[in-house]
Amino acid sequence: MNDEDITILERLERQRGFRYHYSITNYCELLSHFEDDPSDSCPDPFSKYRRCFLKIVQLCYAEVLPSPEMEFLSLVGLEKYLHPAWIPDLKQTALGVEIAANAENLVELTGESNNQDQVGSVPSYVIKPGHYRKLRDTDGESFTRIMELLTEVIRPIKGSDRDKLEKLFVWFMKLAQFFFLVRPSNGKVTYDFLKGKKKNALLKRFMMALVNCSTSTVYRLRRQQ
């Protein structure tokens, strides 16, 4: 996003009343890149991703949007199981954005300097890019392992392929359970751990997501024909 893009977005905000926001997911993803190794395509990762935070401060309202898993667990009444290792506090996130935008280098960002001052009542060492890099890598590895399970379902899959459809459903439940329950709770909660209404509410939401996904896929395939 260049200066011209920002000017256009600001004009749309004035003329159309648009409100720009960022989410917990945006925050975690951007932070995870601060300690990336330099490369030909990105010789200075710190400067590149710091500029992203500067643009967030310039364009976005301070209200932080929840991540998909936060929203999902709230819908089924399980938000108490959200673990801070995976889901940062919303108020702390707003502060973290300001710190990331104003930091001149990694030492200022992480607060590893002995002379590091505090911002308000919270020390700036709340920002640890390495933690978010570990989360990103763990997500990538987990997603790869789950996608490998799809090799058990041989394509093509027809409506009459009951065995394949059952295997596909089992795979979807593993995918949904891991990324929307096990991961955000840091392994504290599984589908089998839940009882009664909580378990039924979770299954209902999973099924709604599956139906919506299937409908969207059919629509795209029809448009391609």
Supply the pLDDT for residue 64: 93
pLDDT in tens, 139-164: 999 999 999 998 888 888 777 888 88
Is the entire prediction scored with pTM above 0.85?
no
> What percent of the chain has a predicted confidence (pLDDT) above 70?
88
| Crossing angle of helices 129-148 and 162-177, rounded to 10° | 170
Q: Which residues of 131-160 are buried (b: 16+ CB within 10 A; e: fewer)?
A: ebbebeeebeeeeeeeeeeeeebeeeeeee
Per the model's pLDDT, the better-predicted residue between 124 and 8 turns out to be: 8
CB atoms within 10 A of CB 212: 10
Nearest to 69 by CA among 179, 171, 173, 174: 179
- 219 has a pLDDT exceeding 50: no
Per the model's pLDDT, the better-predicted residue between 225 and 38 turns out to be: 38
Per the model's pLDDT, the better-predicted residue between 149 and 122 turns out to be: 149
For residues 113 and 115, what is the distance between their CA atoms, to the nearest angstrom? 5
pLDDT in tens, 82-120: 999 999 888 889 889 999 999 999 988 887 764 545 444
55: left (phi over 0), alpha (psi -120 to 50) or beta: alpha
DSSP secondary structure letter of residue 2: -
Mean pLDDT of the chain, nearest integer: 85
Residue entry with tokens 């973290």 = 96
Q: What's the average model confidence in pLDDT over 172-199?
A: 90
